[in-house]
Structure 1
Amino acid sequence: MATDDPKDDHGERWAKEAEEKEQRKVRARKEGDRSVWFGLGMFGLVGWSVAIPTVVGALIGIWIDKKFPSQHSWTIMGIVIGVLIGCLNAWRWMNKEGGKR
């Protein structure tokens, strides 16, 4: 038996909204801490995982260029190798974190 009482509609809407909020809370708990700080931390982790190998590659390249002068720039090659290693490292971290969902 359906009634046309607006209070019944309001109660049903309120119950539905409460249920949706509870479901969002449960999903958030299952997924873990995916806050803004988590995103910034992940962004920093990826940045450093690329920056450190790049700088190390550049330093090794500079050392090789000073010790063994040649026609080719080992500094540039060190930077390229460092970026490639850093990107692979960042990709590995992102896949690792993406698998936790």
Structure 2
Amino acid sequence: MTSKPEEPDRLVEGARKHGERHRRWLREGGEPSVAGRLAQIGVLGWIIVVPALGGIFLGRWLDRTFDTGVFWTAPLLMLGLGLGCWSAWKWVNSA
């Protein structure tokens, strides 16, 4: 009589994987503290604000130089906001 090889029990395998993930989570520091979360939110805000402010400053300088009203300020502000939001999106998804 031939015995077929035993298939690993799915429940046991799932429990083993869960235990490994939990140990890795504990080893890597677990849940961030409130201060850590607030720091992340602060960094996220600056990632969006700095390019927008850069667009405003560059746009105002160009508008003063060429006497064009807000011709450069508005599009460079939008470009800065777009760049900041894109950078924030990439930063959040990489973390």
Give the alignment's TM-score, normalised by structure 2.
0.66
Aligned-residue identity in percent: 32
- Cα offsets for 1:5-63 (capped at 9, x unmatched): xxxxxxxxxxxxxxxxxx7x847514535221221111011100011000000000001
Alignment of 1:51-90 (within 5 A): 51-70=49-68, 73-90=71-88
Whichever residue aligns with residue 68 of structure 2, its letter is S
The answer to whether the aligner puts 1:93 opposite 2:91 as a matched pair is yes
Whichever residue aligns with residue 44 of structure 2, its letter is V
5+ long unaligned stretches in structure 1: 1-22
The answer to whether the aligner puts 1:29 opposite 2:26 as a matched pair is yes
CA contact (8 A) 2:63 2:69 kept: no
The CA RMSD over aligned residues, in Å, is 2.2
Give the alignment's TM-score, normalised by structure 1.
0.62
CA contact (8 A) 2:59 2:70 kept: no
SS in 1 for 2:85: helix
- For residues 40 and 71 of structure 1, the distance between their equivalents in structure 2, rounded to whole angstroms, comes to 39
- For residues 39 and 66 of structure 1, the distance between their equivalents in structure 2, rounded to whole angstroms, comes to 41
5+ long unaligned stretches in structure 2: 1-18
